[in-house]
Structure 1
Amino acid sequence: MSKIVVISGHPDLEKSHTNTVILKCLEDSPESMDIRRLDRLYPDFRIDVEAEQAALKAADVIVLQFPFHWYAVPALLKKWVDDVFSYNFAYGPEGDKLKGKDFILSLTIGGAEETYDPLGYNHFKIEQFLHPLQQTAYLAGLVYRAPVYTHRMVYIPGVYNRLEDVQSRARDHAGRLLEQIDGLLNSPQARIERFVTEWFRQFDQLPQSSDWFLEHLDRDVNWVMPDGRYSGHAGFRDWYSHARETFRPGCDHQVEQLEVRRSDTGYQVDLRIRLLAETFEGSPFGGEAVNMLVNETWQVSLDAQGRVTIHDYLVEAVDSQA
């Protein structure tokens, strides 16, 4: 399963002087990548939605690689977004399939940097032109990362730029993109952030067994909830049993804020979580739907294999509506 999927949106890579260089650098990198060249896969614009969605679901990092055409993505890439980011996949009541995945826009720009300025003939900054894609990422629950882009990436023989200069800039662009990808996948903060996503995905399901959670809890974990303090694995089992009697499976833990920073013993994770859940009639909520906002503070450690262990878990209620 590829951790990285790269969607190449160039309409005709055979005519490209820069995107081909960038893709070749990505192919030659040690990272495992699924590079999907839309111009070869779908020259007729008939997107295989099921195949594309499967590729996205298998990835931790999604990269859109494209030339900046008329202040937007090329038509083929726009068609891909329109078809693949569908209802109940990227948005809607069941549209959480992309939630928590890192999303990078990697684009080549023909014009010089100074032209993308209020005083230049393009009038707006590149980031402003990217706002529709940024909002698309937010709606789909993707984690929008800083875009990677390079100017003066068009070669017109005898008119604009030298081929060797353009291709040199393309190799530099690929290096910056790979550096960002490596940081997202391999930094301690990134590993912990991915763990947080998976932690709450498991809690949303409320499986009968608590074994998956116990594997990531220190045997002497200090578990502090608004209703009391629980110690060790036995204490967590007691709390989890109570939670399963209170909340129906299919909860929605929304991570509204997340910060990971070093601490004296490892890492501290500060979160603001909104819980949307249905409850059982016999629970303290009497079967009413719950909309609860809480602050959470975790103390965690990370071993050499990148495995996260939680040592302290503190939850404080901010407000709740039932």
Structure 2
Amino acid sequence: MSRVVVISGHPNSEGSNANSVILNELKRSVTELDVRYLDLLYPDFQIDVKAEQDALIDTDIIILQFPFYWYSIPALLKKWIDDVFAYDFAFGANGDKLKGKDLILSFTVGGPEESYDPLGYNHFTIEQLIYPLQQTAYLTGLNFNKPIYTHRMVYVEGVYNKLEDVQSRAASHAQRLIALIDELKSAPEVIIKKFIKQWFENFDVLPNDSALFTQYLSDDITLTMPEGEFIGHSGFRDWYKGARETFKPNCEHMVEQITVDKKGSQSYLVKLRVRLIAETFADSKLQGEKINLLVNELWELEVRAHNEIEISQYTVEVV
């Protein structure tokens, strides 16, 4: 899993003076990073939609890195959005695969800052010109972050800018981008989603020691399950014992949807749609039946000091 995916939309990434500096700085400084150079992957403009969608599904942060061309994005990046942000993937009845992920627009602008003004020769501000991309984020459920862009990023030998100045500005641009990535990675919502992934990976194994889970539960937690209500750590252990007697290890919890809503300064309400695929023991109540079950889960939790999670309410309802 790459927590940060960068979609490089420069049409000539290897010949870039600014975007290449930015991407190289990212590769040196950011862990769990996947940089996808569209010009190298798809010189014929034939996008592998599934490969690109797969790259986005398991990431937390999506960065579109590009030069600002004619008040918009380069052609190949536009085609990438058109093809990859498809119905029932990015929008539509079942199109929630990007919902809750962070989007960062990171781009280089050739003209000076003063030209992007009602009184300048470009007449409109950068923020106004990127409204279509902002609306794309809203429609697909992406979190739209304040874009990072830098002016005077074109080098024309003997005519416009010095190469060392452009590359220096690109390095500064990269540091601002890295700072935003670090900030987003430490956000409570990201910490919660990472915790949920680990929680279900542990549940799939069904380890003997329930302390792997109770360490994250409040002493008076209320668990409302299809089997009934269970209170506190002892209640969880009773429920977990029944689960281990029913389901064989190496089951699979697939989290299809996560919504994190803030309740208080440290408390959050987490809504999950989870699919459980599992085999059961022949001597259990399910008598060896193979399970493919869709459930809604509702968690109430707090993110405490040192990013420690404590769950106080845990509800599971079969869809």
- Could you state the TM-score of these two structures normalised by the residue count of structure 1? 0.70
Deviates more, 1:89-98 or 1:168-177: 89-98
Q: Could you say which residue in structure 2 is the equivalent of 1:125? A: 125
The amino acid of 2:103's aligned partner reads F
Q: Could you say which residue in structure 2 is the equivalent of 1:35? A: 35
**Distance across 1 between alignment mates of 2:268 and 2:141:** 19
Residue deviations 1:77-132 (CA, integer Å, cap 9, x gap): 00000001111111122212212211111010111111112222222221222221
How many residue pairs are counted as aligned between the two chains? Answer: 272
Is 2:93 the counterpart of 1:89? no
> Could you tell me the percent identity over the aligned residues?
52
Residue deviations 1:244-281 (CA, integer Å, cap 9, x gap): xxxxxx999885853774xxxxxx12559899xxxxxx
Q: Contact between 1:301 and 1:309, CA under 8 Å: does it hold in 2?
A: yes
**Distance across 1 between alignment mates of 2:11 and 2:152:** 19
Is 2:304 the counterpart of 1:301? yes
The amino acid of 2:145's aligned partner reads R
The offset of 1:235, in angstroms, is 5.9
Q: Contact between 2:214 and 2:236, CA under 8 Å: does it hold in 1?
A: no
The amino acid of 1:130's aligned partner reads I
**Distance across 1 between alignment mates of 2:256 and 2:52:** 25
The amino acid of 1:177's aligned partner reads L
Q: Could you say which residue in structure 1 is the equivalent of 2:267? A: 269
**Distance across 2 between alignment mates of 1:234 and 1:253:** 29
| C-alpha RMSD of the superposition | 3.9
Q: Which runs of 5+ in 2 are unaligned?
A: 240-253, 274-297
**Distance across 2 between alignment mates of 1:36 and 1:182:** 20
Q: Could you say which residue in structure 2 is the equivalent of 1:56? A: 56
The offset of 1:233, in angstroms, is 4.2
Query: In structure 1, the residue corresponding to 2:304 is in which secondary structure?
Result: strand
Q: Could you say which residue in structure 1 is the equivalent of 2:18? A: 18
Q: Contact between 1:3 and 1:60, CA under 8 Å: does it hold in 2?
A: yes
Q: Could you say which residue in structure 1 is the equivalent of 2:109? A: 109
Query: In structure 2, the residue corresponding to 1:170 is in which secondary structure?
Result: helix
Q: Contact between 1:8 and 1:64, CA under 8 Å: does it hold in 2?
A: yes
Could you say if the C-alpha distance between residues 43 and 298 of structure 1 is closer, same or farther in structure 2, counting changes exceeding 3 Å?
A: same
**Distance across 2 between alignment mates of 1:17 and 1:5:** 21
Could you say if the C-alpha distance between residues 92 and 154 of structure 1 is closer, same or farther in structure 2, counting changes exceeding 3 Å?
A: same
Is 2:224 the counterpart of 1:220? no
**Distance across 1 between alignment mates of 2:232 and 2:115:** 60
Could you say if the C-alpha distance between residues 221 and 152 of structure 1 is closer, same or farther in structure 2, counting changes exceeding 3 Å?
A: farther
**Distance across 1 between alignment mates of 2:162 and 2:52:** 36
**Distance across 2 between alignment mates of 1:217 and 1:171:** 41
Q: 1:258 aligns with which of 218, 238, 262?
A: 262
**Distance across 2 between alignment mates of 1:156 and 1:111:** 12
